[in-house]
Structure 1
Amino acid sequence: MNEREIYLAGGCFWGMEHFLKQLDGVTGTTVGYANGHTAMPTYEQVCTDKTGFAETVRVQYDPQRIGLDTLLTMYFLAIDPTSVNKQGEDEGTQYRTGIYYSDAADMPVIEQKMDEVAERYDSPLAVEVGPLQNFFAAEDYHQDYLDKNPDGYCHLPLALMDMARRFRHK
């Protein structure tokens, strides 16, 4: 398998991870902190708005089962791409949206998707796009949080989770 990865920030990483891991073709997820300026940040530090990190999901996927274009389509269904530093009720710089790539070859697909999404909005998109500068896995209790805590907080609607479970890449 020729596994690929992309890093997606979309508000609270608990719900975003749970949503993305439902998709056929996603082979692994890790929640963590991306593109900040503090070494080995903790959740408490990231929540201060002083570290520059975004709550982010590292998404590993099989491109034979789900392409980056489809993965990004699903990502954009789960976020408000015009909202600055806020998704749902969660507010702060750590909740900003972003697409961070580890392979520059992904840029044409990302740029095309950004252009496509921008056409649907009157307001400018607030989604950061750029290379992954750094990524630190979050503490263990954050990994697979909604699997371990089915009644835990999630800013994403249940209908979106159900759609992801039913989704099959064709």
Structure 2
Amino acid sequence: MYTKKIYFSGGDFHELQAVFDHVPGVTAVRAGYINGEKPADFASVASGQVKAYMGVEVTYNPKKVDISKLLDMLFAIVNPYVPDGQGKARGTMYRAGVFYTSPEDEPQVQLHLNFIANRGKPPVVGTAGLTVNDPNSNPKLARKMCALAGPLQNFQEAEAAEQDYLTKHPQTETFIDFARLQAYVKF
């Protein structure tokens, strides 16, 4: 079976793993450290001693789920306008991001993030054909996209204790409302 990989960060990687484990077409999800400057473990990344993003490696069958659907899922649970974290997970290691290994994925990722950065109400067009109150022309009205996008430099799988954490510890408080996601995936 042909599979591809993409890497996502944003908030707690335990939560990301729990979500993407249930997406049809996803064949494997591993929690780990993305684009780390040196070998890492949970404590060194969480404390900021090692610069890396906590995220997941998503292996998927592109014949069953496309990258656009995966990006939709990511940004349904991760707010791309929030700098450095989601919920109680705060710090640069929790920043939202999309990291790809294939150059063919770059245009689709960039298009998706550009759409998210510019979504909102369309500007009003006056009778003279002029755009009035264009939110992109006023920096105070524009939302700032904080999510990263770029090629993967490296990925280090997290320790065994961090894999499938929410399955092992179901009482753990989460930022993601899993009940709300049941319309998209089955838990």
Output the TM-score relative to the length of structure 2.
0.84
Structure 1: segments with no counterpart, 5+ residues: none
**Contact 1:34 1:135 (8 Å CA) reproduced:** yes
**Contact 1:10 1:79 (8 Å CA) reproduced:** yes
Compute the displacement of 1:166 (Å): 4.1
SS in 2 for 1:158: coil
Q: Match for residue 123 of structure 1?
A: 143
Deviations 1:100-156 (A, max 9, x none): 111111001101111111122631211111111111111101101111111123221
Q: Match for residue 6 of structure 1?
A: 6
Partners of 2:168 and 2:49 in 1: CA distance: 29
Greater length-normalized contact order (CA 8 Å, ≥ 6 residues apart): 1
Q: Match for residue 66 of structure 1?
A: 65
Q: 2:166 aligns with which of 140, 146, 152?
A: 146
Partners of 2:151 and 2:172 in 1: CA distance: 31
**Contact 1:22 1:164 (8 Å CA) reproduced:** no
Alpha carbon RMSD of aligned pairs, Å? 1.5
Distance 1:150 1:161, change over 3 A: farther
**Off by >6 Å, runs of 4+ in structure 1:** none
Compute the displacement of 1:161 (Å): 3.9
User: Among the aligned pairs, what percent are the same residue?
Assistant: 31
Structure 2: segments with no counterpart, 5+ residues: 121-141
Deviations 1:15-42 (A, max 9, x none): 111011111011000000011212x201
Output the TM-score relative to the length of structure 1.
0.92
Rg larger in structure: 2
Alignment coverage as a number of residue pairs: 166
